[in-house]
Amino acid sequence: MSDATHVPMQACPACAAAPSAERLAALAPLRDARLVLSLPQAHCAACMATVEGALQAVPGVRSARVNLTQRRVSVDAAAEVTAADLIPVLARVGYEAHEMDPGLLSATETDRQGRELLMRLGVAGFAMMNIMLLSVAVWSGAEDATRDMFHWISAAIAIPTVIFAGQPFFKSAWASLRVWRLGMDVPISLALILATSISLFETWNSGHHAYFDAAVMLSFFLLAGRYLDHRTRAIARSAAQELAALEVPRATVLADGVEVVRAISEVLVGDLVRVRPGGRMPVDGVVTDGASEVDRSLLTGESLPVFAGVGTAVAAGEVNLTGPLVLRVTAAGRDSSLHRMADLVGIAESAKTRYTSLAERAASWYSPLVHLLSFSAFGYWMWATGGDLRFAINISAAVLIITCPCALGLAVPAVVTAASGQLFRMGLLIKHGTALERLAEVDTVVFDKTGTLTLGAPSPTNLADHPAEVLQVAVALAAASSHPLAVALKGAAVPAAVTDLREVPGYGVEGLWNGRRVRLGRAVWCGAAEVGVTATYLTLPDGSTHAFTFADTLRPGAEAAVAGLLAQGLAIRLISGDATGPVAELAARLGIIDWTAGALPAEKAAAVAGLMAAGHRVLMVGDGLNDTAALAGAHVSISPASALDAARVASDIVLLGQTMQALPDAVRISRKATRRMVENFGISAAYNVIAVPLALLGFATPLAAALAMSLSSITVSLNALRVR
């Protein structure tokens, strides 16, 4: 299930080609709007009140409810309210919000599955408690008619419970039997069915032993493990859905000079599309009108915005920074470069699912063994008792129940849940069930630069070299632009009195200072000589030019993370799409010896694949779309929360906070967690070593089965909690 979720458009074959966009378009004429926004920053009670208050103040909004567990808010509103109206409202109260497609099939599907499992778990739990009460009476010596009555009452509770609660096991056992495989669920189903029917038979014949309590307890403990497992996967799924949010389901199309907002699926090659400053390109296209700069950092890793004028080709996912652009569409929807990248991820992703988890390896030798033991016990006692079928079946049912993998089914989910919870508090979200195991095996770490080790936000480096007056003019000019370099300059000094400020999209800002023209922007436009590093240039009325240089801000905790990982003996590489200068400087600053600059997305993926082929277990840390293929191809991958959704979807672990400090701890905890899993397997094996001979010899009573089962389950759960 979880394997498919990372690529939602492939996960649901029944969906139409572009389900989200089409459904949104279809929903538009309905009377009520139901909007779902993702709120990655919501984390506390005050957040909920602020968000709900702010949304309810918007005219047309009927109700808003925050779901803190999923970090979402769902809004019921009149038809004229759109997500585009609400996102700025939330931004004003300080919350980043993204539109989500409320109609996504998988969301409701996951929800339904989770509730179904919880219901079965609850029913099994209540039935178990009641049957236990009755069983205590039988164990403490109830006889004859009393015992029979208690057995009958137990049967009345247990049989419907087993039929209802055991369905997930029966279904998956049947599925694996049909392809001639013995999964973990085959012995479980066999034990449930055999134990229930033999107990019913014994009860009918006023026998001594009934295993109703064991059968129900078995389904309860195993369902608990299933539910924990499902929760881990549900989190992964909700993260995967955010890919849909990125895809900007609508575009502003110019049809006969009139702006029309259309779903992406209706945009055709050759249409004209308008993109406002601050917006993401919805399609691949060529600029036909306007000039601006585009931020490609998430796609290529370039830290500096690129000029875009008439004739420049732009790709879906790039951010338009300074001026409005009109594009002629060259590829839309499924043909756009964003989609091709997502497909690339899908291919790499399918390779990852080939990883065999510890639990699967354990199950592969465990289930044949269980069957073998049970059938040989049956055969032996048939022979030893001279054909006493009832006795032999009793023994083999007891063997099946005692060996049944209660502890085994809990051993992994309990550890994964405990470790994920621990890491979540440290700011790491584990998305993939086997990510912890894979993280524990890592020996090489590959970092991306822009947006990963650095924040992708420049900070000025040579402010002190400029006279105060020059700085003041620059700050005054910078105030008029939202360009990243200009934003970085703001607040560096008290702005001088510059009037008539005007932004020339794609070039810079100009204005009048003491009645004379001053300019801040690109070197060519300002008539300055380029300095070779990231910089913006200022021209003063006297013709003198000044260069303001910038360096990327280091992500907090990046130094500590690199040092910590090196201390654990891991090899570290830096592979960036950025120019040589900034990469070399950063590598020197962090003490990374092995670095590569100017790497294309395919080269990154190839480098990671090369390391993997050489037998290394690679941890890839990256954030951009150019990293996605490498992230998906690595043994395990981590991306920061600021990463593009596609990159987050491709990675196994997401860093929620800004700091990267937790990385070495994550590796340490994952190793510890894997050790606990192995210990848990050992513990359940030890219980079996003691209990199975007893069962084989025919000494196992229902009491012994109940004790062995609950003791081993409780021991593994407690051991799992020692992860922290």
In the set 17, 28, 78, 119, which binds another protein (CB under 8 A)?
119
Nearer to another protein, 149 or 480 (CB): 149
Tell me: does residue 34 bind another protein (CB under 8 A): yes
Token pair 């590959």 in the structure block, residue = 446
* DSSP characters over 688-723: HHHHHHHHHTT---HHHHHHHHHHHHHHHHHHHHTT
Residue 161 CB, nearest approach to another protein (Å): 10
Smallest Cα–Cα separation from 19: which of 33, 28, 5, 8?
A: 8
Tell me: does residue 141 bind another protein (CB under 8 A): no
Binding to another protein (CB under 8 A): which residues in 489-528?
none
Nearer to another protein, 95 or 366 (CB): 95
**Paired strand residues for 292:** 308
Tell me: does residue 146 bind another protein (CB under 8 A): yes
In the shown chain, the binding pattern of residues 150 to 179 toward another protein, with x for contact by CB under 8 A and - for none, equals ---x--------------------------
For residues 425 and 701, the answer to whether their CB atoms sit within 8 Å is no
Residue 34 CB, nearest approach to another protein (Å): 7
Helices (H), 404-532: 406-425, 435-440, 468-478, 484-489, 523-526
Tell me: does residue 44 bind another protein (CB under 8 A): yes
DSSP secondary-structure letter at 624?
A: S
Tell me: does residue 129 bind another protein (CB under 8 A): yes
Stretch that binds another protein, among 46-54, 320-328, 462-470, 520-528 (CB under 8 A): 46-54
In the set 56, 63, 108, 206, which binds another protein (CB under 8 A)?
63
**What is the distance between the alpha carbons of residues 708 and 553, in angstroms, rounded to a whole number?**
57
Token pair 């848990």 in the structure block, residue = 680
Tell me: does residue 369 bind another protein (CB under 8 A): no
Nearer to another protein, 45 or 464 (CB): 45
In the shown chain, the binding pattern of residues 75 to 114 toward another protein, with x for contact by CB under 8 A and - for none, equals -x----------------------------------x---
Nearer to another protein, 34 or 724 (CB): 34
Stretch that binds another protein, among 116-124, 504-512, 588-596, 605-613 (CB under 8 A): 116-124
Residue 130 CB, nearest approach to another protein (Å): 4
Nearer to another protein, 68 or 480 (CB): 68
**What is the distance between the alpha carbons of residues 636 and 628, in angstroms, rounded to a whole number?**
12
Stretch that binds another protein, among 121-129, 398-406, 669-677, 697-705 (CB under 8 A): 121-129
Burial 126-144 (b: 16+ CB within 10 A, else e): ebbebbbebbeebeeebee
Token pair 């300095």 in the structure block, residue = 531
Residues that contact another protein, how many (by CB under 8 A): 28
For residues 234 and 177, the answer to whether their CB atoms sit within 8 Å is no
Residue 163 CB, nearest approach to another protein (Å): 16
Smallest Cα–Cα separation from 688: which of 408, 335, 493?
A: 408
What helix, strand, coil percent values describe the chain, rounded to 5?
55, 20, 30
**What is the distance between the alpha carbons of residues 89 and 594, in angstroms, rounded to a whole number?**
46
Residue 665 CB, nearest approach to another protein (Å): 23
**What is the distance between the alpha carbons of residues 420 and 90, in angstroms, rounded to a whole number?**
30
- Between the two ends of the chain, the Cα-to-Cα distance in Å is 28
**What is the distance between the alpha carbons of residues 658 and 472, in angstroms, rounded to a whole number?**
31
Stretch that binds another protein, among 123-131, 345-353, 555-563, 645-653 (CB under 8 A): 123-131
Residue 104 CB, nearest approach to another protein (Å): 15
Tell me: does residue 207 bind another protein (CB under 8 A): no
Residue 119 CB, nearest approach to another protein (Å): 5
Retrieve residue 276's tokens: 């406002």
Tell me: does residue 41 bind another protein (CB under 8 A): no
**What is the distance between the alpha carbons of residues 297 and 305, in angstroms, rounded to a whole number?**
8
Distance of CA 542 to CAs 9, 271, 618, Å? 59, 47, 56
In the set 112, 115, 181, 724, which binds another protein (CB under 8 A)?
115
For residues 358 and 681, the answer to whether their CB atoms sit within 8 Å is yes
Q: What contacts 707, CB < 8 A, 6 or more positions away? A: none
Retrieve residue 162's tokens: 């087993």
Stretch that binds another protein, among 118-126, 192-200, 522-530, 539-547 (CB under 8 A): 118-126
Is residue 465 flagged as an active site residue?
Answer: no
Q: What contacts 378, CB < 8 A, 6 or more positions away? A: 392, 393, 395, 396
In the set 12, 27, 58, 68, which binds another protein (CB under 8 A)?
68
Nearer to another protein, 76 or 665 (CB): 76
Residue 45 CB, nearest approach to another protein (Å): 4
**Paired strand residues for 35:** 75
**What is the distance between the alpha carbons of residues 620 and 195, in angstroms, rounded to a whole number?**
48
Residue 49 CB, nearest approach to another protein (Å): 5
In the set 25, 27, 58, 126, which binds another protein (CB under 8 A)?
126
Stretch that binds another protein, among 119-127, 375-383, 386-394, 573-581 (CB under 8 A): 119-127
Tell me: does residue 130 bind another protein (CB under 8 A): yes
Own/partner contacts of 686-690, CB < 8 Å, gap of 24 or more, are 687/407, 687/711, 687/712, 687/715, 688/402, 688/403
**What is the distance between the alpha carbons of residues 2 and 17, in angstroms, rounded to a whole number?**
21
In the set 448, 623, 627, 645, the catalytic residue is: 448
In the set 16, 28, 49, 389, which binds another protein (CB under 8 A)?
49
* Residue 699, phi then psi, degrees to nearest 5: -95, -5
Tell me: does residue 1 bind another protein (CB under 8 A): no
Residue 666 CB, nearest approach to another protein (Å): 22
Nearer to another protein, 235 or 294 (CB): 235
In the set 28, 79, 93, 133, which binds another protein (CB under 8 A)?
133
Stretch that binds another protein, among 122-130, 459-467, 486-494, 677-685 (CB under 8 A): 122-130
Residue 35 CB, nearest approach to another protein (Å): 12
Smallest Cα–Cα separation from 392: which of 382, 401, 400?
A: 382
Tell me: does residue 48 bind another protein (CB under 8 A): yes
Stretch that binds another protein, among 65-73, 214-222, 491-499, 531-539 (CB under 8 A): 65-73
Residue 217 CB, nearest approach to another protein (Å): 15
Other CB atoms within a 10 A radius of the CB of residue 178 amount to 8
Interface contacts to another protein, rule CB under 8 A: 34, 44-46, 48-49, 62-63, 66-70, 74, 76, 111, 115, 118-119, 122-123, 126, 129-130, 133-134, 146, 153
Q: Which residues are annotated as catalytic?
A: 448
